[in-house]
Structure 1
Amino acid sequence: MTVSVRITGSIATLLAGTVPALAGPDNPSDGTFGHMMWGGGHGWWGGFGMLLFWGLIIAVAVFAVRALTDKRQGDMRDPIEILRERYARGEIDEDEFRRRKQELQS
């Protein structure tokens, strides 16, 4: 699964989760502040839901930035080990191997 598919799926899931919050009445007739404030009956759960929502938005944004800017080159390998591999494959001769090994060890 590619990174762009994961990001798109995560954003779609977050947006789909906001639909029930948008479905409430805009102007309640009982004089309260509506379903997003304390008067709506949600109490502390409303605040927790808001923290959870924004936490998820920030987490998806961080994940997207890291996934798109990840430039890791892999594990750092020992230069002498790479030199040995090149010698074993025949890319360099014995004199070249010894000269470069001496340079690396100095």
Structure 2
Amino acid sequence: MFWYGHDPSGWGWFTMSVGMLLFWGVLITFGVLLVRAVSRSSDPGTTSGTGTTSGTGPRPTPQQLLAERFARGEIDEEEYRSRLSVLRPGDDAGYGKR
């Protein structure tokens, strides 16, 4: 029934162990890549070609960015008004005039 030489030697156990680790590693890697590909294609925020998301919301307008810089104190009121008048050339509200 149990003849000599039919069971795996030490190298056989080593080869089977490495093979099993490689098998599960490839299977798990394939599963992770598949889930990432499916979730990326269903994400409405991705841009075509780059795979990067555009963020949480719409991009701020130049006026909003300028207002944020003014609020942080990066620019003074005079510079704020002059830049705002450049951004709104058709607005005759008196921005940039003193």
TM-score by length of 2: 0.39
Over alpha carbons, which structure has the higher Rg?
2
TM-score by length of 1: 0.36
Which is richer in helix?
Answer: 1
Question: Which of 1 and 2 has higher RCO (CA within 8 Å, sep 6+)?
Answer: 1
